[in-house]
Amino acid sequence: MYYTYIIVFLIGCTMSTTTLMTMDTCKEQKTLSFKKNHTFIEDVLNGAIAGSIEVLINNPLVVIKNDLILNKKETQNKKTIVCSLKDHLKNPQNMIKKYYKGCGAGMASMAPITALQNGISSLLAKTFGDNPTLCQKTIAACGAGWLSALLASPADLIVLQRQNPLYAKESLHGTLQRIYGINSFATIYRGLNATGIRDGIFTAAYKTGGNAIHNIIPTITGNTETDKILCASLAGLVAAIISHPADVVAARMKSDLPAAYYKTTTQTTTTIVKKEGFLALFKGLPPRAFRIMLAIPLMSMILDHEIGTKIIKKTES
């Protein structure tokens, strides 16, 4: 099922590749084209900075999303975004602690993940030649995103466990000890396949998604910069919808450390649908979609500013 999402995404990019190639002499292409002549180190640093800033801004949405995903249908305490916010607005200090719990771990994990995504995506794109098409760049981004799950999956596991209300007073060291104490290292890569699919789609969204949408909708407001932001946000919405079932499956598997209830990706998906219905695969979609709709243009903008490249150039000079 998940591979179908990726195939559909790639077909959409392929359909817009011809349009992109006809824009090579236009001013818009100069704005939308990928930066060239970056070193791998520059790409890595640019990605790390973009990922860190994104987590710092959007961490509350991650907490809300996980609360909704881990709230099963059969439990009596059914949560909504509004109810969750109302509960915490009563005590702002606790609200900050709640919504930024795990933020440090999230930034520490996201920085190397987005660094890997940005760096490897550029390397893979170069295997297609000096002027890869939009579809080829998308394939490279999907591949880089899946590979980044080798880092993202264990990091997600730690962050998710840190945000578990049952262990609200637990230290990071305590969380690591608890994870290791259950099944040693066997739990580190629980949900790896689902995480890889999710991150592959996400990476493609912020690397090429805005360009693909812009080819389909050449103008929205008439302002190039505004259109670029809107197209990136739309790409984030599409990516959020098609990748969310994989995110739900990954989160459920990572929440069940002993694998007593959720065992494999397929079995987890089947169990969720049978017990809670198909729509359960889209639990927590609104906050995640909102986060990604903010994250894609934000990360694209930060990557366009090439902060890491400027730091390296300044250091060298």
Tell me whether residue 19 is in a domain.
Answer: no
Long-range contacts, 308-315 (Cβ 8 Å, 24+):
308/42, 308/44, 308/45, 308/46, 308/47, 308/48, 308/49, 309/38, 309/42, 309/45, 309/46, 311/45, 312/39, 312/41, 312/42, 312/45
Distance CA 215, CA 231 (A): 9
Tell me whether residue 264 is in a domain.
Answer: yes
| Cβ contacts of 166 within 8 Å, gap of 6 or more | none
Between 130 and 268, residue with greater pLDDT: 268
pLDDT digits (tens, 9 = 90+) for 263-277: 999 999 999 999 999
How many CB atoms lie under 10 A from the CB of residue 29?
14
To the nearest 10 degrees (0 to 180), the angle between helices 134-162 and 192-204 is 130
pLDDT digits (tens, 9 = 90+) for 71-106: 765 444 555 556 666 666 676 667 777 778 768 777
Tell me whether residue 196 is in a domain.
Answer: yes
| Cβ contacts of 206 within 8 Å, gap of 6 or more | 232, 235, 236, 295, 296, 299, 300, 303
191: closest CA among 142, 230, 153, 245?
A: 153
66, 269, 278, 294 from 240: Cα distances, Å: 14, 18, 17, 11
Tell me whether residue 24 is in a domain.
Answer: no
Tell me whether residue 229 is in a domain.
Answer: yes
Q: What percent of the chain has pLDDT over 70?
A: 80
This model's pTM is above 0.85: no
Answer for the pair 117, 41: CB distance below 8 angstroms, yes or no: no
Tell me whether residue 16 is in a domain.
Answer: no
> Exposed, middle or buried: residue 273 (CB in 10 Å: 0-12, 13-18, 19+)?
middle
**pLDDT for residue 124:** 95
| Cβ contacts of 167 within 8 Å, gap of 6 or more | 161, 174, 175, 178
Domain of residue 283 covers 2-11+38-316
Q: Is pLDDT at 69 greater than 60 in this prediction?
A: yes
User: pLDDT-based confidence at 49, cuts 50/70/90?
Assistant: very high
Length of the chain: 317
**pLDDT for residue 37:** 64
**pLDDT for residue 72:** 62
User: pLDDT-based confidence at 314, cuts 50/70/90?
Assistant: confident
pLDDT digits (tens, 9 = 90+) for 105-123: 778 878 999 999 999 999 9
Tell me whether residue 20 is in a domain.
Answer: no
Between 189 and 140, residue with greater pLDDT: 140
The count of domains in the chain is: 1
Identify the CATH number of the domain in which residue 178 sits.
1.50.40.10
Tell me whether residue 126 is in a domain.
Answer: yes
